[in-house]
Amino acid sequence: MGTMDKLKFYIDGAWVDPVAPSTLGVINPATEEIFAQISLGSALDVDRAVTAARRAFSTYSQTSIEERLSWFDKIIAGFKARLPELARTMTLEMGAPITFATQRQATVALFHFEEAARVLAQYRFEERMGNGIVRREPIGVCGLITPWNWPLNQVASKVAPALATGCTVVLKPSEIAPLSAMLFAEIVDAAGVPPGVFNLVNGDGPTVGEAIAAHPGIDMVSFTGSTAAGVRVAKLAADTVKRVAQELGGKSANIILADADLKSVVIEGVHGCYTNAGQNCQSPTRMLIPRAQRDAAFQAARDAVDSIRLGDPLDPASTMGPLVSQTQFDKVQDFIQSGVDEGATLVAGGMGRPADINRGYYVRPTVFGDVMPQMRIAREEIFGPVLSIISYDTEDEAIEIANDTPFGLAGFVQSRDAARARKVANRLRAGRVYLNGAPFDRSLPFGGYKQSGNGREFGVFGFEEYLEVKAILG
């Protein structure tokens, strides 16, 4: 057993062995070597966790705001104390460069607890309406299923509001990048959160994920991942009429209007697409440019790609690491090949690993130009550092292309004219629109239209996902 092995589950306030032993190696995507082991759970492990969570709910749901805030203070303090360790663990398990893992991966996860505490401290759970009172109460036991691309951020964006509202939790982190969530469970345990309030069971989607989605003792399931898996979760949840919150795929458009400062917004747009090596659901993966600016846009995109430092994610100088797995590497290679086959212009990058790297799931940062809206690279979520540049003739056509997608997670608009950018933003069918390089804001709602999902995360909207509404009359 190595030091990184984490073979137990956290259930009912204790680290326990799985019902039946079954292990999985965790692979470091930069070295392709197994560096840790976890256990894979079963429906029986989920059952144990749900039983603990149901029992804990009856008392935890009645705790005061002050009590919950005191646990949050301890979780936040523990998180801050272990932040470097959490960041390094994510670098090892999913390949994010250490600088990015520290400044973004770990830090944004912490923010969800600070934000949920802020909302909780001032939230009115009861208000008068008409002749009665409207009360908001915790929905119950929540099953949380999270992905590998932001392994702690997505855990925190669900666990924080669930615990703040008075719900109890059964979490299944991604089995591909599970170790940061295991460390997080240690932080919750050290904070003295009552037994059964937070439970963690490792496992794969078809076994543990499906057991959570279908379990009659779970009142709500919140899932982040692919649209296909989200559909499966919703179908399994339907038999017990659970609330389902889904944050699914994206194919976000970045509309560059003719009056924008082309060079700087194209460079920014390329880097935006490549955030987290492109393994990012809201990334601006379709760049829409005025046809007349094609050549200048291609040159700016090449300049952006040239500035990327691809390398060992533990090296602070690296700005891009490997993709998470062989499966993702193969999938992205297939997309790049399809772009070539369908006749898009290869502006930068292309097939295969970077020339000087001979191991790890590294992909060449790639840009395609002259992409037609019906090409696969323009329609499907690639989840790697691959940008599609699409030319348009009129602003109306740009909006039409942007909305011509099954997804609707985010949109981006660049213009020197704020009013013009805002007009375009209003017409985009997406849950979040960023104007002129606006920074990410975690107090504002995050979630999608169409097949990008149902429900919202972050801030007060994320908080209210975990509440039921009760009217009291008389």
Helix (H) or strand (E) holding 255: strand 253-256
Rounded Cα gap, residues 42 and 19, in angstroms: 8
> Torsion-angle region of residue 89: left (phi > 0), alpha (psi -120 to 50) or beta?
alpha
Q: Let me know: does 198 contact 188? Beta carbons within 8 Å.
A: yes
Rounded Cα gap, residues 142 and 128, in angstroms: 28
pTM of the model: 0.98
Rounded Cα gap, residues 255 and 287, in angstroms: 6
Burial of 254 (0-12, 13-18, 19+ CB in 10 A): buried
**Strand blocks (E) in 9-125:** 9-11, 14-16, 23-28, 33-39
Q: What is the pLDDT of residue 1?
A: 47
Domain ranges of the chain: 9-248+451-473, 253-442
Q: Let me know: does 446 contact 106? Beta carbons within 8 Å.
A: no
Report residue 35 CA to chain centroid gap.
Answer: 24
pLDDT in tens, 159-191: 999 999 999 999 999 999 999 999 999 999 999
Report residue 343 CA to chain centroid gap.
Answer: 32
> Of these residues, 210, 247, 268, 465, which one is catalytic?
247
> Of these residues, 142, 210, 281, 381, which one is catalytic?
281
Give bridge partners of residue 180 from the DSSP assignment: none
Q: What is the pLDDT of residue 4?
A: 83
Third-level CATH fold of 253-442: Aldehyde Dehydrogenase; Chain A, domain 2 (3.40.309)
List, for the chain, all residue ranges whose pLDDT scores fall below the cut of 50. 1
Q: Let me know: does 431 contact 450? Beta carbons within 8 Å.
A: no
- 56 closest CA partner among 223, 170, 161, 158: 170
pLDDT in tens, 301-351: 999 999 999 999 999 999 999 999 999 999 999 999 999 999 999 999 999
Dihedral of alpha carbons 180, 181, 187, 189, sign: negative
Residue 125's SS3 state is: coil
Third-level CATH fold of 9-248+451-473: Aldehyde Dehydrogenase; Chain A, domain 1 (3.40.605)
Q: Would you call 381 a catalytic residue per the annotation?
A: no
Give bridge partners of residue 346 from the DSSP assignment: 368
Rounded Cα gap, residues 188 and 278, in angstroms: 31
Written as one string, the DSSP assignment of 297-355 is: HHHHHHHHHHT--BS-TTSTT-SB---S-HHHHHHHHHHHHHHHHTT-EEEE--SSS-T
Q: Would you call 114 a catalytic residue per the annotation?
A: no
- 277 closest CA partner among 325, 235, 241, 211: 325
Report residue 7 CA to chain centroid gap.
Answer: 25
